[in-house]
Amino acid sequence: MLTQRRVTDLISELDMLGIVNAVVVSKGRYGRTKEMSLSVPLEETEAVLLSDSRLGDIDDVQPFVQSRFDSN
């Protein structure tokens, strides 16, 4: 089981490696959060992950994408 602390450490490690860009954003009274974006091309990332024999079964998985509702 991954704890919140471990997930945060993994995100920080991916940020240091340049794979993702993670920025801490203050939400005022709602606290702070990390907003992340992929720093490498998605197609290359998928190709590398699918070439790994341990991850080959994830080809048909549809990832959850969190929507963002901006108030304009």
Reply yes or no on whether the pLDDT at 72 is more than 60. no
d(CA 62, CA 34): 23
Domain assignment present for residue 8? The answer is: yes
The pLDDT assigned to 71 comes to 61
Domain assignment present for residue 68? The answer is: no
Provide the whole-model pTM: 0.63
Domain assignment present for residue 65? The answer is: no
| pLDDT band (50, 70, 90) for residue 2 | confident
- Residue 22: which CATH number? 1.10.10.10
The pLDDT assigned to 46 comes to 82
Residue-wise pLDDT for 5-55, tens only, equals 999 999 999 999 999 999 999 999 999 988 999 999 988 888 888 888 787
Domain assignment present for residue 54? The answer is: yes
Helix, strand, coil content of the chain in percent (nearest 5): 45, 20, 35
Q: How many domains does the chain have?
A: 1
d(CA 37, CA 35): 7
Range of the domain at 49: 4-60
- Per the rule left: phi > 0, alpha: psi between -120 and 50, beta: everything else, 66 is beta
Domain assignment present for residue 47? The answer is: yes
Domain assignment present for residue 26? The answer is: yes
